[in-house]
């Protein structure tokens, strides 16, 4: 995660992805998940630095909403451990250590391993087969990897993991998994963006990611719970190594 250059300053950088033009009408403007995701992206991409104070009215203008959904989003982010709320100071961006990121990834792996048990046999076969076609195409990508390749892999990743989460019969599990997955994706996206800027050979990982997804899909199609859990666990552990390494840099 980028190092802080100033402490206790209000973030005055350009609004992160997800922010709206002030005054623009948006039926989903009060959508808390959108605001949470936008702030998370801003934090892990360096728009908001560790030690920054997030000002409610400024965020409301950035996202084109009232202060109420901003306060709700800040409460959610504080619950995730991303922000620290102090009396008379407001919400302060916390620095995430590599150990904390590793712990987050481990929790996500444990939760999703539980979810995939009930997902077997409950996800549309048609959906899985169509997804597999896309994954095979992505597994054949070649260097140099471009932004369009990254977006394609992120898209199928979201489709697969969201389908697993939504197929669980345990709504408490699904809600907690959604929360932590949102956090992991924000860290992952920032890590991949840095690799893309550096034209890093580590971007070959996107092809490996597609192959790992194929193994998960094949196990789901076969309704093989044991293989599905193993493939998922190996996939998430592999991905966490890249994320943690990016935070350490």
**Total residues belonging to the chain:** 249
**Structural element, H or E, at residue 114:** helix 98-119
- CA–CA gap between residue 224 and residue 74 (Å, rounded): 40
How many structural domains are present in the chain? 2
Residues 91 and 132 in one domain: no
Residues 112 and 219 in one domain: yes
Residues 106 and 220 in one domain: yes
Through-space distance between the first and last CA atoms of the chain, rounded to whole angstroms: 8
- CA–CA gap between residue 204 and residue 6 (Å, rounded): 35
Q: Could you read off the pLDDT of 113-134 as tens digits, one per residue?
A: 999 999 999 999 999 999 999 9
Domain extent, residue 74, equals 1-95
State the pLDDT at residue 17: 52
Name the β-bridge partners of 145.
none
Cβ atoms of 20 and 64 closer than 8 Å: yes
Cis peptide leading into residue 20 (ω within 30°): no
Residues 104 and 86 in one domain: no
Residues 86 and 102 in one domain: no
State the pLDDT at residue 90: 81
Q: Could you read off the pLDDT of 167-200 as tens digits, one per residue?
A: 998 999 999 999 999 999 988 888 888 888 877 7
Q: What is the DSSP letter of 53?
A: E
- CA–CA gap between residue 162 and residue 55 (Å, rounded): 32
State the pLDDT at residue 241: 83
**Strand, coil or helix: what is 85?**
strand
Instruction: Work out the number of other CB atoms within 10 angstroms of the CB of residue 79.
Output: 10
**Angle between helical axes of 171-197 and 67-80 (0-180°, round to 10):** 90
In tens digits, the chain (249 residues) has pLDDT values of: 444 444 444 444 445 555 544 444 443 445 678 899 899 989 988 899 999 999 999 999 989 898 899 999 999 999 888 999 888 778 999 988 888 889 999 999 999 999 999 999 999 999 999 999 999 999 999 988 889 999 999 999 999 999 999 999 899 999 999 999 999 998 888 888 888 887 777 788 889 999 999 999 999 999 999 999 999 999 999 888 877 876 666
- CA–CA gap between residue 192 and residue 186 (Å, rounded): 10
CATH number at residue 50: 1.10.10.10
Instruction: Work out the number of other CB atoms within 10 angstroms of the CB of residue 160.
Output: 23
Residues 114 and 84 in one domain: no
């Amino acid at each position: 995660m980028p190092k802080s250059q100033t402490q206790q300053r209000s973030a005055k950088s350009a609004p992160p992805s997800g922010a709206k033009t002030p005054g623009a009408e948006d039926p989903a403007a009060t959508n808390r998940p959108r605001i949470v995701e936008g702030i998370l992206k801003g934090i892990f991409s360096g728009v908001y630095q560790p030690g920054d104070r997030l000002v409610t009215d400024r965020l409301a203008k950035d996202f084109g909403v009232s202060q109420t959904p901003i306060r709700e989003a800040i409460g959610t982010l504080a619950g995730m451990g991303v922000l620290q709320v102090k009396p008379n100071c407001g919400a302060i961006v916390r620095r995430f250590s590599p150990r904390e990121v590793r712990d987050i990834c481990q929790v996500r792996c444990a939760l999703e391993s539980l979810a995939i048990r009930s997902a077997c046999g409950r996800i549309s076969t048609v959906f899985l087969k169509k997804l597999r076609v896309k994954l095979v195409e992505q597994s054949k990508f070649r260097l140099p990897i471009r932004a369009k390749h990254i977006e394609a892999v992120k898209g199928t990743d979201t489709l697969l993991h969201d389908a697993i989460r939504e197929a669980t019969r345990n709504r408490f599990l699904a809600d907690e998994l959604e929360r932590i997955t949102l956090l992991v994706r924000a860290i992952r996206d920032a890590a991949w963006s840095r690799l893309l800027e550096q034209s890093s050979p580590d971007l070959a990982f996107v092809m490996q990611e597609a192959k790992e997804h194929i193994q998960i899909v094949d196990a789901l199609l076969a309704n093989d719970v044991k293989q599905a859990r193993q493939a998922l666990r190996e996939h998430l552990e592999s991905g966490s190594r890249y994320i943690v390494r990016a935070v350490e840099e």
